[in-house]
Copies of this chain bind each other. A is one copy, B any other.
């Protein structure tokens, strides 16, 4: 682990719930010495990645992110390209659609299109999507390389969100095998007790999954036939999205999707 890794890892402690962090707090969270943390924070401040409140002396994310995010979207318009697919399928199915984007070890809701219905599932923009307890997360694991999937899950036991949450990594991985064969993942009440979701993978130019498209329905509407149909639709939409993004759909995956279509 280089010093740069360590410095950048500090940023991961920020979240919607913890938008400001003090020096000692950083040291405690990261296990680094205060003096080391301070030096790294200094560099992050100089680069504009964090800024310090002059009064409270706490640190928060800096302005540079806005600048670089804009440049990235300009050069490589991922959000713009993927959003229309999420919009279309949200209207088509009447359910909330979100796209989970993987970066630096975490999967989060990068694009959210809420269902047009009044009884709908709400997903907050930027919400963290745990790998073992959401359709998006399970889908990501299912279509990642198995060693990578194991690494992301860790040793376990996994955090429990409610009664149906799977907490054993082994169980999660075996479920993932099923999802991989089936083309999309399923999650019923693993995260939110009243929500049932399906998710399909979006691949990058190297044929690696980097995002997932998910449909989340209130349990009351999620009878089996609707769920299967949603699965089929989300697979088709995710595959189209992959192509629009200049991604590479692996041949074996395209086959699964076409056979799903034939079955319908």
Residues of A that sit less than 8 Å from B by CB: 2-5, 7-9, 11, 14-16, 19-20, 39-40, 42-44, 46-49, 53-55, 60-76, 78-79, 101-104, 106, 108, 110, 125-126, 205-206, 210
Contact = CB atoms under 8 A, between A and B. Distances in A.
B8 A47 contact: yes
A11 B54 contact: no
A30 to B, nearest CB: 14
A121 B242 CA distance: 37
A66 B72 contact: yes
A47 B5 contact: yes
Contacts of A68: 11, 14, 49, 61, 65, 69
B64 A104 contact: yes
A54 B203 CA distance: 13
A106 B2 CA distance: 28
Q: Copy number of this protein in the oligomer?
A: 2
Nearest to A211: B63
Contacts of A210: 63
Given A19-B71, A69-B66, A3 B3 contact: yes
Contacts of A44: 4, 8
Closest 5 CB pairs of A and B: A19-B75, A69-B69, A4-B43, A48-B104, A48-B103
17 contacts: A4-B7, A8-B47, A8-B49, A14-B68, A14-B71, A20-B75, A48-B104, A63-B78, A63-B101, A63-B210, A64-B103, A66-B73, A66-B79, A66-B101, A67-B103, A70-B110, A74-B125
A60 B75 contact: yes
A76 B51 CA distance: 11
Contacts of A69: 65-66, 68-70
B9 A47 contact: yes
B67 A108 contact: yes
A218 B73 CA distance: 29
Nearest to A54: B206
Contacts of A62: 72, 103
